[in-house]
């Protein structure tokens, strides 16, 4: 009995150690995590925009739980005229944003779409993105097919947890 319990504990610890996957079940309810059989998308977020803003970007982490390499091939949304996949090329301190045809999600790996790097790009926004909005976005993967996510709109200066000083800058 004791050994079984120990094993269970170890298993739980091991699962918790996998980073983020542990909260799949209850996070699904509030839309933070979307999961297909093979692909898990966590914490999709975007930044609040100004009234006249035409562009926005969404970030998230994508985990490939399947045995095959996969690739994000497109994204679509109602919020913008065009929804594209982009990356940033850091060229000697110069930031060059470029459209990409796909974003590779290798088997067993977690890929972060994050500020300064890969992102889902909204071009010609149809309306202002307000703090707290939930934006439905459809991601399409080569193997896993379509995955619906809800992108949460955070503060304009939000960093999405990539900085130690805290996630969301308070609104003034």
Partner 1 sequence: MNTMPLFYRNFIRLTFFVIALFIANTQAAEAGNRKPMPIKGGFSLVDETGKKVTLKGYRGQYLLIYFGYTYCPDICPTSLGIIAQVLDGLSKKSLNKIIPLFISIDPQRDSVEYIKEYTDMFHPRLLGLTGTVAEASRAAKTFGVYFAKAEINPEDSTDYSVDHSSNTFFVDPQGRILEVFGHAPDIKMVRDKIEKQLNR
* Binding stretches for partner 1 (CB under 8 A): 47-48, 50-57, 88, 90, 93-99, 115-116, 119, 121-124, 155-159, 163-166, 169-172
To the nearest 10°, report the CA torsion of 55, 93, 110, 10. Answer: -130
Query: Is the CB of 5 or the CB of 51 nearer to partner 1?
Result: 51
Task: Give the 3-state secondary structure of 5-68.
Answer: HHHHHHHHHHHHCCCCHHHHHHHHHCCCEEECCCEEEEEEEEECCCCCCCEEEEEEEEEECCCC
Query: Is the CB of 5 or the CB of 170 nearer to partner 1?
Result: 170
Residue 114 touches Cu ion, criterion: CB under 5 A:
no
Query: Which of partner 1, Cu ion, none does residue 38 bind to, with CB < 5 to 8 Å depending on kind?
Result: none
Residues in the chain: 172
Total of residues contacting Cu ion (CB under 5 A)? 3
Tokens at 160, concatenated? 């999405």
Please tell me whether residue 149 adopts helix, strand or coil conformation.
Answer: strand
Residue with nearest beta carbon to Cu ion: 86
Q: Which of 65, 86, 128, 142 binds Cu ion (CB under 5 A)?
A: 86
Query: Is the CB of 69 or the CB of 87 nearer to partner 1?
Result: 87
Parallel, antiparallel, or unpaired: how do β-strands 110-113 and 33-35 relate?
unpaired
Query: Cβ 102 to partner 1, closest distance in Å?
Result: 18
- Residue 35 CB neighbour total at 10 angstroms: 19
Residue 80 touches Cu ion, criterion: CB under 5 A:
no
Query: Cβ 70 to partner 1, closest distance in Å?
Result: 24
In angstroms, the CA 140 to CA 41 distance is 12
Query: Is the CB of 35 or the CB of 45 nearer to partner 1?
Result: 45
Q: Which of 58, 113, 121, 149 binds Cu ion (CB under 5 A)?
A: 121
Contact footprint for Cu ion (CB under 5 A): 86, 97, 121
């Amino acid at each position: 009995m004791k050994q079984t319990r120990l094993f269970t504990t170890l298993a739980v610890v091991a699962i918790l150690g996998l980073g983020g996957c542990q909260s799949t079940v209850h996070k699904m309810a509030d839309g933070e995590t979307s999961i297909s059989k093979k692909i898990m998308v966590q914490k999709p977020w975007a930044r609040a925009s100004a009234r006249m803003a035409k562009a926005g970007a969404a970030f998230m982490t994508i985990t490939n739980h399947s045995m095959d390499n996969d690739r994000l091939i497109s994204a679509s949304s109602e919020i913008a005229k065009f929804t594209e996949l982009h990356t940033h090329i850091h060229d000697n301190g110069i930031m060059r944003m470029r459209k990409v045809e796909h974003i590779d999600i290798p088997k067993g790996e977690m890929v972060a779409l994050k500020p300064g790097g890969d992102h889902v790009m909204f071009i010609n926004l149809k309306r202002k993105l307000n703090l707290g909005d939930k934006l439905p976005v459809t991601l399409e993967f080569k193997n896993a097919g379509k995955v619906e996510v809800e992108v949460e709109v955070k503060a304009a200066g939000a960093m999405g947890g990539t900085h130690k000083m805290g996630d969301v800058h308070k609104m003034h």
